[in-house]
Amino acid sequence: MDNSYVKLSKFLSYLLRHSPETIHLNMDTNGWISIQELITNAKKYRSLDLTFDIIKFIVKNNDKQRFIISEDGNSIRANQGHSISVDLQLESKIPPDILYHGTASRFLNSIRENGLKSMNRQYVHLSWNEETAVKVGQRHGNPVILYIDAKKMYEDGYKFYLSENKIWLVEKVPKKYIQNFS
């Protein structure tokens, strides 16, 4: 995606994950927003010329598949990463034995002490492979990959959810389930 689409994608992330009220969008309890309202309000409040085709292009070409368009084609929402309360209607799933979390080395002391917390998000995000975790960690500084004993967590009663874009979600990861701090 060229730079203009990247900027629009980031703006959509901000609206759909954190602040729909920025342009007076009505979000339902499941995180859905009317695409027509998004187009109208983006023009009205930000002078952005969004079209349905531009939105479809961003949804299709976003490298992290952050967004989804409803089956009827009328609504859009973020797949995960919300700092606002939404019910994504995710079903609990059995996770792989090991999941990965990418972070920056500067956060290790806090993680050693407190485990992984969702912080300002609804869930802790975990990756099914190390490669994805490295990319996440690089966004925050010197990357560190943590190995999460998801099998043991699941056996101990923690619920895992798999988002539409294949990110594993859990409310928290206590430090005893983190296998390494390399």
In order of their start, the domains of the chain are 3-78 (1.10.10.970), 92-177 (3.20.170.30)
Specify the pLDDT at position 165.
Answer: 84
- For residue 1, name the pLDDT band (cuts at 50, 70, 90): low
Specify the pLDDT at position 139.
Answer: 85
Residue 171 near residue 182, CB atoms below 8 Å? no
Residue 32 near residue 77, CB atoms below 8 Å? yes
Kindly report, residue by residue over 61-119, the tens digit of the pLDDT.
987 888 999 999 999 999 888 889 888 888 999 999 999 999 998 999 999 999 999 88
β-bridge partners, 104: 143
CA 71 to chain centre: 20
Q: For residues 179 and 113, give the distance between their C-alpha atoms in angstroms, rounded to a whole number.
A: 14
Q: What is the mean pLDDT of residues 10-18?
A: 95
Backbone angles phi, psi at 150, to 5 degrees: -65, -35
* 158-to-44, 71, 91, 146, 161 alpha-carbon distances in Å: 44, 31, 13, 18, 10
Specify the pLDDT at position 181.
Answer: 55
**SS percent in the chain: helix, strand, coil, step 5:** 40, 25, 40
Specify the pLDDT at position 83.
Answer: 87
Average pLDDT, the chain: 92
Global pTM reads 0.79
Task: Pick 46 or 63 by higher pLDDT.
Answer: 46
Kindly report, residue by residue over 110-147, the tens digit of the pLDDT.
999 999 998 888 899 999 999 989 888 888 888 999 99
Kindly report, residue by residue over 155-169, the tens digit of the pLDDT.
999 999 998 888 999
Encode burial over 79-101: b for 16+ CB neighbours within 10 A, e otherwise. Answer: bbbbebebebebeeeebbebbbb
